[in-house]
Amino acid sequence: MKTLLYVLWFTMVYTSAYGSSFDRFFSDGTLRIDYFYAGNSAKTEIFFDELIKEPYWGGPERLPENKDDMGNIRYNLYDKESGILLYSKGISTLFQEWQTTAEAKTIARTMSGTATTPFPVAKVIFEIEERNTKTGLFSKIFSLEIDPADYFIRPELRTPCEWKKLTDNGDHANHVDIAFIAEGYAKDEMPKFHSDVSAISGYILSQSPFNEYKDRFNIYAVSSVSEESGTDIPGARIYRNTILNSSFYSFDIDRYLTTSDNKQIHNLAANVPYDFIFILVNSDKYGGGGFYNWYAMATSGNSVANMVAIHEFGHNFAGLADEYYTSEVAYSDFYSFDVEPWEPNITTLIDFDSKWEDMTNKDIPVPTPRESKYKDALGVFEGGGYVAKGIYSPKQNCRMNSINAEFCPVCSRAIVKKIMYYSQ
Ligand SMILES: [Zn+2]
């Protein structure tokens, strides 16, 4: 009897924690926690900014079984009373990249950050963890108790604007919802924005492995209007007044296109139910940028815009690392050779078992020589993550290495895993 009661009790607790209890802990909408990262190459501090209630939650509508194990930063939400983990998400932003630059050794600076979770019904504990790049382990750097009844949680839509659901495959709760945001499109350029979004999103969903799951995606076009057309190109002394203040020459790399205007990004995305943010920039210059679970950014107007866009979306959607190993990227010690990087498509061989060892043929030499004999082989090729030595990639060619290739099987598997997470 005791055993039976225990089984019954366990089933009830398990079901309540991981099953249909999403509605018990959450109501409609998103809780947005805005804060600032501050620090330098050696230290990160978090300073609280404000709480906002956004109208939609893009999904999924279930509790996590574990914390997200990806990203350089991770935030978690716990029910205060029971301690149950209600939500967990890993992210990476421009601030963590900046911390690996030479400038971060000489000055401290700050950048805006945002965490979004489903809107809770009872008091919660919100925490931010930072991954130690030398050990690979997360440790807590910020904690805040939040009462959802707090009247300082601002519910107004900050930057309302027109939007269109360009691809509608169903309920946002169990579909991957991508919000494309217009950047550098003037008022009379919205028809161009809509056709650019159709072209870029159509290309992404026509490519493997997305094409096999394209009915699991919804595409939104958020028609945010900029005063001027284009984007900043500081190296050419071109400056444009645009809604997201995007700019080429991030970290003084001419093709690295980003924005740190984090609050406005989220103000605009909040117009629609979204899981992912893609900022489409009205420029014909080659370039882009992408950050795991933060945003992807690319230009719409050159001959390889589609291919740049899907590469940047690979960073944003599945946390894929760059597999190229000769570059002008200005990072130092971006990856430690002493730990396994968290990105699914590169390895230091410290814990290869956790990566794609299960997908490789036993006869493939490790490391695999970069020779024509292994042109199409899945192996362990030295070079990746911006360095030629000590970091290994799965294939000699992949979209995360050169933009005109297809995703390698390892990147594809990581993408499919994310599609399943957001569309079940
Ligand atoms: Zn790959």
- Looking at the predicted structure, is the pLDDT value of residue 401 above 50? yes
Do residue 177 and residue 267 come from a single domain? Answer: yes
Do residue 276 and residue 301 come from a single domain? Answer: yes
Give the CATH number for residue 411. 3.40.390.10
DSSP 204-231: HTTSTTGGGGGGGEEEEEE-PPPSSSS-
Residue pLDDT, tens place only, 270-283: 999 999 999 999 99
Q: How far is the CA of 103 from the centre of ligand 1 (A)?
A: 30
The arithmetic mean of pLDDT across residues 352-371, rounded, is 95
Between CA 263 and CA 36 the distance in angstroms is 11
**Count of other CB atoms within 10 angstroms of residue 60:** 19
Closest CA to 180 of 290, 304, 272, 263: 272
Residue 328 — very low, low, confident or very high, per pLDDT cuts 50/70/90? low
Q: How far is the CA of 259 from the centre of ligand 1 (A)?
A: 26
The helix/strand/coil state of 266 is helix
* pLDDT at residue number 59: 86
Q: How far is the CA of 174 from the centre of ligand 1 (A)?
A: 26
Q: Is residue 53 part of a domain?
A: yes
Q: How far is the CA of 409 from the centre of ligand 1 (A)?
A: 7
β-sheet bridge partners, residue 393: 381
From 146, 177, 208, the end of a domain falls on 146
End-to-end CA, the chain: 36
Between CA 254 and CA 269 the distance in angstroms is 27
Q: How far is the CA of 293 from the centre of ligand 1 (A)?
A: 18
Between CA 419 and CA 177 the distance in angstroms is 10
**Number of folded domains that form the chain:** 2
From 146, 173, 189, the end of a domain falls on 146
AA identity, residue 397: N
Q: How far is the CA of 422 from the centre of ligand 1 (A)?
A: 21
Q: Is residue 338 part of a domain?
A: no
Do residue 211 and residue 139 come from a single domain? Answer: no
Do residue 109 and residue 251 come from a single domain? Answer: no
Question: Is 187 within 8 Å of 162 (Cβ atoms)?
Answer: no
Do residue 242 and residue 304 come from a single domain? Answer: yes
Q: How far is the CA of 398 from the centre of ligand 1 (A)?
A: 5
Q: How far is the CA of 424 from the centre of ligand 1 (A)?
A: 25
Do residue 107 and residue 86 come from a single domain? Answer: yes
Q: How far is the CA of 262 from the centre of ligand 1 (A)?
A: 28
Q: Is residue 153 part of a domain?
A: no
- Looking at the predicted structure, is the pLDDT value of residue 330 above 90? no
Residue pLDDT, tens place only, 204-251: 999 999 999 999 999 999 999 999 999 999 999 999 999 999 999 999
Q: How far is the CA of 388 from the centre of ligand 1 (A)?
A: 16
DSSP 19-85: SSTHHHHEEEEEEEEEEEEEE-SS-EEEEEEEEEEES---S--S--SS----SSEEEEEEETTT--E
Residue pLDDT, tens place only, 143-187: 999 999 999 999 999 999 999 999 999 999 999 999 999 999 999
381-384 and 387-393 strand pairing: antiparallel
Question: Is 319 within 8 Å of 414 (Cβ atoms)?
Answer: yes
Q: How far is the CA of 242 from the centre of ligand 1 (A)?
A: 34
**Count of other CB atoms within 10 angstroms of residue 160:** 11
Q: Indicate the DSSP class of residue 408.
A: P
Q: Which residues neighbour 347 within 8 Å (Cβ) at sequence distance 6 or greater? A: 340, 341, 355, 356, 380, 391, 392
Do residue 186 and residue 290 come from a single domain? Answer: yes
Do residue 40 and residue 99 come from a single domain? Answer: yes
Do residue 172 and residue 98 come from a single domain? Answer: no
Percent above pLDDT 90 for the chain: 90
AA identity, residue 2: K
Q: How far is the CA of 9 from the centre of ligand 1 (A)?
A: 45
The helix/strand/coil state of 17 is helix
The domain of 70 spans 21-146
**What are the φ and ψ backbone dihedral angles of 30, each rounded to 5 degrees?**
-115, 135
The pTM of this model reads 0.94
Between CA 253 and CA 384 the distance in angstroms is 19
* pLDDT at residue number 14: 47
